[in-house]
Amino acid sequence: MASRILVQNRRVIEGLQMKFLDDKNPVMPLFLFRSKESVSDWEVTADEKFGGKSRGSFRYDPSIDAAVFEGELSLDPGYSMKKSGFVSINAPHFDPPIDLEDYDALRLKVKGDGRIWVANIKQENRAPFQLFQSSCIIPANQWTDVTLPFRNFLLTWRGMVDADQMPFDATLVERVGLLMAHRKEGPFRLAIKEIAAVNTKELQKEKRYNLI
């Protein structure tokens, strides 16, 4: 009798899990890097565009089944810059902008180099150089999930924190990207398997359900 009740309870729990997953997926993949085509529309921008000496590339590496953002950072100032030392990659524009209101963070599946990296989010109706940014240190030589809560993104203008901060509006996401701006000359490398929007609270619920 007790064993039948346990089986029935287990089925009820499994049913609730399936309903939870059907109602709201706590992970929304934005970019999966599994082919050459997955990186073809991304844009690489470096200070060399303004006379600096930093350079970078973004490519798919089939040996690790991931994209690789790598290059060389130089702090030599360009002819039209007071400061240099940046390289960025930017995704194609979402047209129309995507609504991430059901999510509270950006998650990166990455293998880094121990440097400081910056995630960029461009919000619709913002000036071209106005971005929401959040920084993190990505461990070297190991695959890891890096979660960046939206609440930690700060409004910036040309890389400087904007004095007039405004809350991030997740309903108007136009573009995402990554920036190498660690003030240290030399090579950099970041391997990326996935960029996703996640609902951290729902993920925690799912983990608790799976432990039952």
pLDDT reported for residue 80:
56
pLDDT reported for residue 134:
96
Burial (Cβ within 10 Å: 0-12, 13-18, ≥19) of residue 38: middle
Per-residue confidence in pLDDT tens, the chain, 212 aa: 434 433 343 343 344 334 344 456 999 999 999 999 999 999 999 988 778 899 999 999 999 999 999 999 998 876 655 666 899 999 999 999 999 999 999 999 999 999 999 999 999 988 778 999 999 999 999 999 999 999 999 999 877 898 888 889 999 999 999 999 888 899 999 999 999 999 999 988 866 555 44
DSSP run (H or E) holding 106: strand 105-111
Give the tokens for residue 22.
């059907």
pTM of structure: 0.82
CA dist., res. 146 & res. 194, Å (int): 11
Length of the chain: 212
For 126, half-sphere exposure in the C-beta direction (CA atoms, 13 angstrom radius) is 24
Strands 105-111 and 143-149: antiparallel
CA 29 from centre of chain: 10
CA dist., res. 145 & res. 107, Å (int): 7
pLDDT reported for residue 176:
98
pLDDT reported for residue 210:
53
